Amino acid sequence: MQEDNTESEDFKKRYNSFVSKLLENKTFFKDAREWYATTYVLPISQRSFFILISIMGLFTSIMIASIVNSVFPLKETVPVIIESKDQAIYKPIIYDLTKINTQNSKTADEFVSSYLLVNYLKEREEHSYRDGNITKYNEKFNKIKNNSSIEVFEEFKKYMSKSNSNSPVHFFGKNISRKVIIKNIKFIRQIKEELSDKIKDFFRPKDMPSLVEIDYLVQTKYSNRTVSERNKAKINFKFNGIQKDQKTNKYLPLKFTVTKYKNYRQN
């Protein structure tokens, strides 16, 4: 016990001597402030600094994500080229493809194909032979032929032949006309059942549909009355889409062909 008390007294003397020297050198309060700052102030400052850096990083990430989101998807502006021999006589007409009533058109190719399909259907189903102009009749045949497979065009010729009692040819020269009003266009997409196919379709552009259903109204006007009926056309088609030549950087001609055409009368 006596030895412990002696060591304690020696420690007190050395400590008092050390403090006295610090007071004489005027470094006691400076060291005390540094110790206090290191022990209590510095951790708070570091925590605040890390919080500030984290907030700035979060805002930076949000800004980068918004910029990337505004850039994609990339949309290419396609020029509309109109050729006119005499602008004083022939006035160019630009059709707004977005006004076509389609349920599920999402891409430019689908909008263009919708326009081509509507024109094709109207060319087949609309008729007006009041003036008895054979030239218009031949033009209709040529347009259908240029946009149809051989089988589809042969079916159209049979439908338009005089041997068919329902052929519009029997109205030639009479005061009768047929007008088509498009109600709806629906692309039929192939549903993939395999999980691997669904995953692939999620990461790659969807294929162009090859089947479409068009609901339309036919108005047949006679001299004294008008008859309306609802029809549905199921059309299989091939369309190469809007493509560019990599060498010339020019747009390639559109290739559109109807491979199957079926018309149904609705109640």
**Residues 71-81: tens digit of each pLDDT:** 666 665 555 55
* CA separation for the pair 5, 173 (Å, rounded): 135
Residue 88: pLDDT above 80? Answer: no
The alpha helices in the chain, defined as continuous H runs, are: 2-25, 28-36, 42-71, 108-125, 134-146, 150-160, 195-203
**Residues 55-64: tens digit of each pLDDT:** 888 888 888 8
Tell me the C-alpha to C-alpha distance, in Å, between residue 91 and each of 82, 119, 140, 247: 10, 19, 22, 33
93-97, 174-178, 241-245, 263-267: least confidently modelled range: 93-97
Residue 50: pLDDT above 90? Answer: no
5-19, 71-85, 175-189: least confidently modelled range: 71-85
Q: How far is CA 26 from the centre of its chain?
A: 77
